Amino acid sequence: MDDDYYSLNSILAENHKLSCSFTLDVEGLGYLEGGTENNIHQHSKVELPFWLAQTLSLNEFTTFPLPPPYSNRVKAALNASAQSVKLSNLVGGNGWWYRWGRRIADVLDDEPQADLLNTLLKAFINRLPALQDLSAHHASADHTLPESSTSTTETFRDGMEGDERELFAIGQESGKMTRNWYDSNGSRKGGR
Amino acid sequence: MALPKHLQNGLTPDELTFLAEEETIDIVPLFSMTRVRLLSGIYGPFTPPSSAKVPLWLALSLKRKRKCRIVPPEWLSIDRVQNVLKEERENAESFCSLPRRFIEISKVLLDVAQDDSMQPSLLRSLLKDLREVRQAKIRIGLQSEGVMRGSYLQVTNLTPLELSELKPFLVKAMGIMQSLEPRGDDDEDEEEGQ
């Protein structure tokens, strides 16, 4: 995953809101809460985009609990069957579950950080075989419309997260390219 | 990068075919000519019925103009391919060593010089089987332990064509796995038993 400053995917992922609580009163920033107050009070909960929340938390102006996409409920579902969990709608529009999780992990302390990263890694590893099979299958056949397949493959395909979808597209494209080359008969116009 | 993601990491099959056409091959010319100097070297003399060694691209070009007959390389005979296929099927763990440009050359020869090889349809189906067996092994290898740990994938004896098909996907997947590793992990001295 690229954490490049200019990476559009990273920018979109970091824009997802995180619910945090301020540790002190702040004057004049009341509009962040969306209400009509002029000031933010201590312990008030505000939803902030992650890029803002990260700086504030690193300077200890805010604190936040582990956000819902990484809650124990999701973890238990992943432990049960990683491939049937729909990761696409957990984090924002296109679903950047892995990216957002990584950014959050950067702000956490050692132990919750290792825990979160471990969850992400295990989930990815468990979903990878299904992803590979799916992309190889789609590379060798012309499926543009979904066909009636087993329920796990369908849920997996719908629930693919943003990075997984990119990976899938890459695998499918390179497979298709090779297949087209094999099937072409190399006829050229006239002699070379 | 301006290139689409699946092209960023390797060469396309067409480019690989172009590179493969550098290899020399025997032809039996149907015309007579003294030695000729081309940019890439001196070839000839072309005196039928003796054979001459030319690069593959030249052989294909002459063949398309019906000016020669191509002699298939000795590894492209039915027996050899059948042996390789048998070995490939028996060896579930590793890949057989193939001539480096095996796939590209065999495909191009079958397309352009069908009448020069023996039993082209049988050869074609054998090559297709060979390709499928190797693909299946690749797919199994992709789910091997080394990959799942994000460390390595054993690719001895894979041809450049298969590698370039594999690379974009694998590199990105391993990149993601690496970025999800726990921070500040010391190198574990584990024996990669294989």
Query: What domain count does chain B have?
Result: 1
**Arithmetic mean of pLDDT, B72-94:** 88
Q: Mind telling me how many Å the CA of B47 is from chain A's nearest CA?
A: 22
Q: Is the pLDDT of residue B118 over 50?
A: yes
Determine the pLDDT at residue B186.
41
Contact B6 A174 (CB under 8 A): yes
pLDDT of residue A192: 38
- pLDDT over 70 at B139, yes or no: yes
Question: What's the whole-number mean pLDDT along residues B39-54?
Answer: 86
Same domain, A79 and A172: yes
Considering only residues B44 and A22, tell me which one the structure prediction assigns the higher pLDDT.
A22
Query: Is B165–A114 a contact, with Cβ atoms under 8 angstroms apart?
Result: no
Residue B146 within a domain: yes
DSSP B134-186: HHHHHHHHHTSHHHHTTS----TT--HHHHHHHHHHHHHHHHHHHHTSPTTPP
Whether the CB-CB separation of B71 and B116 falls below 8 Å is answered with yes
Alpha-carbon distance B148 to nearest alpha carbon in chain A (angstroms): 6
| Alpha-carbon dihedral sign for residues A122, A125, A126, A127 | positive
CATH number at residue B59: 3.40.5.50
Question: Is residue B69, in this structure, part of any structural domain at all?
Answer: yes
Give the residue-averaged pLDDT of B32-60.
87
Mark which of A48, A65, A82 sits at the end of a domain: A65
Residue B193 is assigned to a structural domain of this protein:
no
Q: Could you say which residues from 162 to 191 on chain A have a Cβ atom under 8 Å away from some Cβ of chain B?
A: 163, 166-167, 169-171, 173-175, 177-178, 181-182, 185-188, 190-191
> What is the spatial distance between Cα B24 and Cα B75, in angstroms, rounded to a whole number?
14
B6 touches chain A (CB under 8 A): yes
Interface probe, candidates B179, B181, B185, chain A, greatest A C-beta count within 10 A: B179
- Domain with B89, as residue range(s), is 8-180
Overall number of domains in chain A:
2
Q: What is the pLDDT of residues B162-191, one digit of tens each?
A: 888 888 888 888 888 888 887 654 443 333
Residue of B nearest to A124 (CA): B177
Are A47 and A81 in a shared domain? no
**Is residue A41 located within the same domain as residue A97?**
no
Helix/strand/coil for A151: helix
The pLDDT value given to residue A146: 52
Q: Residue B107: inside a domain, yes or no?
A: yes
CA–CA separation, B110 vs B117, rounded Å? Answer: 8
A175 close to B165: Cβ distance less than 8 angstroms: yes
A1 at interface of B, judged by CB pairs closer than 8 A: yes
Single residue among A65, A93, A114 that ends a domain in this structure: A65
Considering the domain boundaries, does residue B192 fall inside one?
no
What is the domain extent for residue A79? 67-140+150-183
Selected residue with higher pLDDT from A34 and A58? A58
Tens-place pLDDT, residues A153-165: 777 777 888 888 8
| A34 CB within 8 Å of a chain B CB | no
| Interacting residues of A100 by C-beta distance below 8 A, sequence separation 6+ | A13, A14, A16, A50, A69, A91, A92
Listed residues A42, A65, A88: the one ending a domain: A65
Kindly list the distances between the CA atom of residue A10 and the CA atoms of A106, A107, B94, in Å, as whole numbers in the listed order: 14, 16, 39
The verdict on residue A191 lying in a domain is no
- Condensed to tens digits (0 to 9), the pLDDT of residues A53-109 reads 888 888 888 888 888 888 888 888 888 888 888 887 777 667 788 888 888 888 887
Residue A188 inside a domain? The answer is no
pLDDT at residue B38, as a whole number: 87
Q: Which of B104, B124, B166, B169 to mutate to test the interface with A (most CBs of A within 10 A)?
A: B169
Distance from CA of A168 to the nearest CA of B (A): 8
The secondary element (H helix, E strand) that includes residue A187 is none
> In whole numbers, what is the pLDDT of chain A averaged over residues?
79
Closest-CA distance, B190 to chain A, in angstroms, reads 19
Strands of chain A, DSSP E:
17-22, 45-49, 62-63
| A92 and A169 co-located in one domain | yes
* A to B CB pairs, distance under 8 Å: 99
Query: Is B44 within the bounds of a domain?
Result: yes
The pLDDT score that the predictor gives to residue A147 is: 54
Residue B38 lies in a domain: yes
Same domain, A52 and A81: no
> Model's pTM, two decimal places?
0.80
The yes-or-no verdict on residue A145 having pLDDT over 60 is: no
B 96-115: CB under 8 A from A = 107-108, 111-112
User: DSSP code of B75?
Assistant: G
Q: Is residue B20 part of a domain?
A: yes
Q: How confident is the model at residue A185 (pLDDT cuts 50, 70, 90)?
A: low
Pair A75, A57 in one domain: no
Q: How confident is the model over A29-41, as a mean pLDDT?
A: 75
* CATH number, domain containing residue A38: 1.20.58.2050
Residue A94 and residue A12 in one domain: no
**A89 in helix, strand or coil?**
coil
The per-residue pLDDT for A187 is 54
B window 141-170, beta carbon within 8 A of A: 142-143, 147-148, 161, 164-169
Is residue A173's pLDDT more than 80? yes
Are A20 and A43 within 8 A, CB to CB? Answer: no
Dist. CA B69–CA B60, nearest whole Å? 10
